[in-house]
């Protein structure tokens, strides 16, 4: 499976269609000359409900990690009551190994602004906030430059071509985060956006009913919004012509459309590459990333940011779609930020490094996450130093199984990053953990007769 031409990266030179050294900022005029904002112009002649139905028909799933249906999420919004309704764009991108959204925002930000405008029209949203990662300093200024161009050309603002939404002129603002990973979680993002401490909310209520400032809110990822213009202009059938149906039957949601894959780790050519969902990881590594670095052999990989857990040594040909979690015993596709590890990588050390990240980024609200991640980290450090025991392996697995949103012990999924990293590492590379441990010994006094 290979794309014949890029969709999201068509204005951003990228292998195999162009040289990344030729990348430059695509301004409003250049964007429009190459078909930009045609989707928005077409959307203005379509009823908002029909726009939502078209996105639902495309089966577009969120590109931020969870893979939830974008159109279905939009349909959860309540009836319009004339009060403010918000769009929160998740541009936080704090997941280690993930840098795909940054490429879009750095070089073709109007692709995002067109998607924002289409979403605002479809869902009757009058105010949008782009919540951008605090460390993306240059990206922020690029987004602001494009925002001013969009205002000058009446995409947003008092003279917007969209007219009034809920009796208000549509406006877009950029909000800079302060560098907290947990604010990538949608309700943590909303708390931070409101000027509060950035930690997740208990749900329900869900953001669609009570989100930013207590009002109905749609939260979408940058890449999710960026493809909306093409869905409107080319149709849902075109979108479903890319990607694949689910491996688990017709009733299961498919994995359709183009997808950006960020590849890093022990490869010869790291970068962001565009392919259809369902591409084999081996194809991405061999054809796009030019193989494993220094002629080494593949050992393991993380399919979509470190929270997803490990793909094993026998899973080099894993198909990267939204079914990969169930097929390969990982949390899921996540952000499609593939991190490859060669034969010299210590899985124990890699796991310890991942757990340290989640321990550091825990907001502290939930005890299993706050305390459990610290305990797991200490045990892994002990193992790495050769001071672990065989009992520690079972203890690690037990701790991992009891922390996270999926076991139901935490509010958000941050602890699941610790959970899946540990349990997939042990399940697929147990011998490495055993090699770091001393046999457990229990002294027993035996009475002599």
Model pLDDT for residues 381-435, shown as the tens digit of each residue: 999 998 899 999 999 999 999 999 888 899 998 999 999 999 999 999 999 999 9
pLDDT at residue 127, as a whole number: 97
| Partners of residue 173 on adjacent β-strands | 129
Q: Is 170 inside a domain boundary? A: yes
Q: How far apart are CA 261 and CA 264, in angstroms?
A: 10
Q: How far apart are CA 414 and CA 419, in angstroms?
A: 9
Q: Which of 213, 241, 269 is the last residue of a domain?
A: 241
Q: How far apart are CA 185 and CA 405, in angstroms?
A: 12
Q: Give Rg (Cα) of the chain.
A: 23
Q: How far apart are CA 349 and CA 356, in angstroms?
A: 10
| Partners of residue 264 on adjacent β-strands | 339
- Would you tell me how many other CB atoms lie within 10 Å of the CB of residue 253? 16
Q: How far apart are CA 116 and CA 120, in angstroms?
A: 6
pLDDT at residue 46, as a whole number: 96
**Consecutive H or E run containing 348:** helix 347-361
Q: Is 231 in the same domain as 299?
A: no
DSSP state of 46: S
Q: Is 360 in the same domain as 331?
A: no
pLDDT at residue 276, as a whole number: 96
Question: Is the pLDDT assigned to residue 442 strictly greater than 70?
Answer: no
Q: Is 6 inside a domain boundary? A: no
pLDDT at residue 192, as a whole number: 96
Specify the number of domains making up the chain: 3
pLDDT at residue 14, as a whole number: 96
Q: Is 325 in the same domain as 385?
A: no
Q: Is 15 inside a domain boundary? A: no
pLDDT (mean) for 206-229: 97
Summarised one tens digit per residue, pLDDT across range 61-96 is 999 888 899 999 999 999 999 899 999 999 999 999
For the chain, how many helices (H) and strands (E)? 18, 14
Q: Is 204 in the same domain as 351?
A: no
Q: Which of 287, 319, 342 is the last residue of a domain?
A: 342
Q: Please report, for the domain that includes residue 273, its CATH number.
A: 3.10.20.600
Q: Is 132 in the same domain as 216?
A: yes
**Consecutive H or E run containing 320:** strand 319-320
Q: Is 7 inside a domain boundary? A: no
Count of alpha carbons within 13 angstroms of residue 211, beta-carbon side: 29
Q: Is 193 in the same domain as 78?
A: yes
8 Å CB contact between 431 and 319:
no
Give the CA distances from residue 221 to residues 67, 218, 258, 263, 314, in Å, rounded to whole numbers and listed in that order: 10, 10, 15, 19, 32
Q: How far apart are CA 75 and CA 52, in angstroms?
A: 7
Q: Which of 265, 14, 65 is nearest to 185 (CA)?
A: 65
Q: Is 278 in the same domain as 426?
A: no
Q: Is 202 in the same domain as 337?
A: no
Q: How far apart are CA 429 and CA 31, in angstroms?
A: 48
Rounded to whole angstroms, the maximal C-alpha distance in the chain is 99
> What dihedral angle (degrees, nearest 10) is formed by the CA atoms of 103, 107, 110, 111?
-40
Q: Is 361 inside a domain boundary? A: yes
pLDDT (mean) for 199-203: 92
Q: How far apart are the first and last CA of the chain?
A: 74
Q: Is 336 in the same domain as 355?
A: no
- Would you tell me how many other CB atoms lie within 10 Å of the CB of residue 440? 12
283 phi-psi bin (left φ>0, alpha ψ -120 to 50, beta other): alpha
Q: Is 265 inside a domain boundary? A: yes
pLDDT at residue 441, as a whole number: 60
pLDDT at residue 9, as a whole number: 97
Q: Is 279 in the same domain as 236?
A: no
pLDDT at residue 4, as a whole number: 86
pLDDT grade, residue 439 (50/70/90)? confident
Q: Is 310 inside a domain boundary? A: yes
What would the two tokens of residue 138 be?
A: 């240059």
Question: Is the pLDDT assigned to residue 328 strictly greater than 60?
Answer: yes
Question: Is the pLDDT assigned to residue 445 strictly greater than 80?
Answer: no
Q: Which domain holds residue 261?
A: 257-342
Cis peptide before 126 (omega within 30 of 0): no
Percent of the chain topping pLDDT 90: 89
**Consecutive H or E run containing 143:** helix 137-152
Q: What is the mean pLDDT of the chain?
A: 94
Q: How far apart are CA 7 and CA 11, in angstroms?
A: 9
Orientation angle between helical segments 347-361 and 414-428, nearest 10 degrees: 170
pLDDT grade, residue 147 (50/70/90)? very high
Q: Is 246 inside a domain boundary? A: no
Angle at 336 between CA 173 and CA 104, to 5 degrees: 35
- Would you tell me how many other CB atoms lie within 10 Å of the CB of residue 110? 26
Q: Which of 185, 211, 241 is the last residue of a domain?
A: 241
């Amino acid at each position: 499976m290979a794309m014949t031409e890029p969709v999201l990266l068509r204005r951003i030179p990228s292998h195999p269609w162009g040289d990344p050294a030729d990348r430059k900022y695509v301004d409003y005029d250049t964007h429009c000359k190459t078909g930009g904002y045609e989707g928005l112009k077409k959307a203005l002649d379509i009823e908002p409900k029909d726009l939502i139905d078209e996105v639902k028909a495309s089966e577009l799933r969120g590109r931020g990690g969870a893979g939830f249906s974008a159109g279905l999420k939009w349909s959860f919004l309540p009836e319009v009551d004339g009060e403010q309704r918000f769009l929160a764009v998740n541009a936080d991108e704090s997941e280690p190994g993930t840098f795909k959204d940054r490429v879009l925002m750095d070089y073709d930000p109007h692709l995002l602004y067109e998607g924002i405008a289409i979403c605002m029209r479809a869902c009757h949203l009058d105010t949008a906030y782009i919540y951008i990662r605090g460390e993306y300093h240059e990206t922020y200024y690029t987004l602001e430059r494009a925002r001013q161009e969009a205002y000058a050309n009446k995409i947003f603002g008092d003279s917007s071509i969209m007219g009034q939404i809920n009796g208000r002129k549509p406006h877009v603002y950029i909000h800079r985060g302060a560098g907290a990973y947990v604010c990538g979680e949608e309700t943590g993002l909303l708390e931070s956006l409101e000027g509060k401490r950035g930690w997740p909310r208990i749900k329900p209520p869900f953001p669609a009913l009570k989100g930013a400032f207590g009002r109905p809110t749609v939260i979408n990822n940058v890449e999710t919004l960026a493809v909306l213009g093409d869905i409107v202009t080319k149709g849902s059938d075109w979108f479903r012509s890319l990607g694949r149906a689910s491996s688990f039957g017709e009733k299961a949601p498919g994995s359709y459309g183009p997808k950006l894959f960020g590849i890093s780790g022990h490869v010869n050519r790291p970068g962001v590459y565009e392919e259809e969902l369902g591409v084999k990881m081996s194809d991405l590594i061999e054809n796009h990333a030019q193989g494993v670095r220094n002629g080494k052999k593949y050992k393991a990989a993380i399919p979509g940011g470190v929270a997803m857990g490990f793909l094993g040594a026998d899973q080099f040909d894993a198909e990267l779609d939204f079914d990969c979690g169930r097929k390969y015993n990982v949390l899921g596709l996540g952000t499609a930020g593939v991190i490859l590890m060669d034969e010299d990588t210590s899985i124990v050390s890699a796991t310890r490094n991942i757990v340290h990240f989640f321990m550091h980024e825990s907001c502290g609200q939930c005890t299993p996450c706050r305390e459990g991640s610290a305990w797991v980290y200490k045990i892994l450090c002990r193992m790495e130093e050769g001071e672990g025991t065989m009992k520690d392996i079972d203890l690690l697995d037990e701790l991992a199984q009891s922390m996270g949103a999926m076991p139901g012990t935490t509010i958000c999924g941050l602890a699941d990053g610790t959970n899946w990293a540990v349990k997939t590492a042990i399940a697929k590379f147990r011998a490495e953990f055993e090699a770091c441990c001393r046999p457990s010994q229990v002294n027993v006094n035996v009475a002599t007769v």
